[in-house]
Chains A and B, each alone.
Chain A
Amino acid sequence: DGGITQSPKYLFRKEGQNVTLSCEQNLNHDAMYWYRQDPGQGLRLIYYSQIVNDFQKGDIAEGYSVSREKKESFPLTVTSAQKNPTAFYLCASSARWGVNKYEQYFGPGTRLTVT
Chain B
Amino acid sequence: AQSVTQLDSQVPVFEEAPVELRCNYSSSVSVYLFWYVQYPNQGLQLLLKYLSGSTLVESINGFEAEFNKSQTSFHLRKPSVHISDTAEYFCAVIDFNAGGTSYGKLTFGQGTILTVHP
Contact = CB atoms under 8 A, between A and B. Distances in A.
A40 B111 contact: yes
Interface stretch (A11-19, A63-71, A78-86, A107-115): A107-115
Contacts of A40: 9, 110-111
Nearest to A88: B41
Contacts of A92: 43-44
A45 B110 CA distance: 13
B111 to A, nearest CB: 5
Contacts, number: 47
A108 B90 contact: no
Contact of B41 (A42, A43, A109): A109
A104 interface: yes
Interface residues of B, number: 23
A90 B38 CA distance: 11
Contacts of B9: 40
B108 A42 contact: yes
Interface in B30-89: 32, 34, 36, 41-46, 49, 51
Chain A's interface size range is 20 to 34
Contacts of A108: 42-43
Interface in B81-118: 90, 94, 101, 104-106, 108-111
Provide the main secondary structure of the chain A interface. Answer: strand
Contacts of B94: 102
A7 to B, nearest CB: 13
A53 interface: no
A103 B41 CA distance: 21
B44 A106 contact: yes
Most chain B beta-carbon contacts within 10 A, residue among A4, A42, A105: A42
Given A42-B110, A102-B51, A109 B90 contact: no
Contact of B43 (A41, A45, A48, A106): A106
Interface of B: 4, 9, 32, 34, 36, 41-46, 49, 51, 90, 94, 101, 104-106, 108-111
Interface of A: 4, 6, 40-45, 48, 56, 58, 90, 92, 102-109, 111
